[in-house]
């Protein structure tokens, strides 16, 4: 698999490279720091996936998405953004992107989102969705600790923080701490958003 990962911050590219290799350990990752560099890569390769930083040089809104799909119509394109703005997400999807990934998400959650995108689905985090829009929930991944798994499962069952604390024989503060860490990994802020993102039947 060939992947173009474009972001103007070298440190971020280096940090996320190991997570991208979870998609395919044999993948070849071509890095870029601007839209011009992405275009150079596209002239030489036909990637399965292109990840574009929304604010890097040359993007000019959704121009980068349009350029990628004009050159390589079958390529899956995902946008990476430091700001989870609803209008930006909707504009990216309208331009042809198959996903809008917030940089606030954990690396493991990003991998889950990209797996969905490669499978032909569209991913948008619940916190940027307009009312009534549907989302494709990524599965719970190895990004969570065993205790976070337990807390999220009990959350799905409709238990309050106090009830979860009693079930696990821990303090309510501990439950809030685990939920807070899990929410940050998912890139969400509320119980409802977490449930919508994780569980089909939530």
Highest mean pLDDT among 34-48, 86-100, 180-194: 34-48
d(CA 29, CA 67): 19
Highest mean pLDDT among 75-79, 98-102, 118-122: 75-79
Question: Coil, strand, or helix at residue 64?
Answer: helix
Unique residue bearing structure tokens 């953004």: 81
Give the model's pLDDT for residue 158: 78
Domain with CATH 1.10.10.10 in the chain: 146-198
Token digits of residue 130: 């307009």
According to CATH, the topology of domain 2-128 is Rossmann fold (3.40.50)
> Regarding predicted confidence, which is higher, 76 or 178?
76
Looking at every residue in the chain, the average pLDDT score rounds to 83
CATH architecture of 146-198: Orthogonal Bundle (1.10)
Strand order in the sheet with 99-102: 28-32, 2-6, 49-53, 76-81, 99-102
> Residue 49: in which H helix or E strand, if any?
strand 49-53
């Amino acid at each position: 698999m060939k992947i173009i990962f474009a972001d103007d911050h070298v440190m971020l590219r280096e940090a996320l490279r190991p997570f991208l290799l979870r998609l395919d350990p044999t993948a070849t990752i071509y890095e870029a720091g601007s839209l011009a560099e992405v275009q150079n890569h596209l002239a030489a390769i036909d990637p399965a996936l292109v990840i574009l930083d929304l604010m890097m040089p040359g993007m000019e809104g959704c121009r980068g998405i349009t350029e990628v799909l004009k050159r390589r119509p079958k390529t899956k394109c995902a946008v990476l953004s430091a700001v989870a703005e609803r209008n930006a997400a909707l504009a990216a999807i309208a331009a042809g992107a198959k996903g809008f990934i917030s940089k606030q998400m954990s690396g493991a959650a990003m991998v889950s989102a990209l797996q969905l995108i490669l499978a032909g689905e569209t991913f948008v985090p619940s916190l940027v969705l307009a009312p009534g829009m549907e989302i494709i929930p990524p599965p719970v991944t190895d990004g969570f600790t065993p205790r976070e798994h337990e807390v999220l499962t009990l959350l799905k069952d409709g238990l309050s923080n106090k009830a979860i604390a009693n079930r696990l024989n821990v303090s309510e503060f501990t439950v809030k701490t685990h939920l807070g860490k899990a929410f940050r990994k998912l890139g969400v802020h509320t119980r409802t958003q977490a449930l919508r993102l994780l569980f089909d039947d939530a």
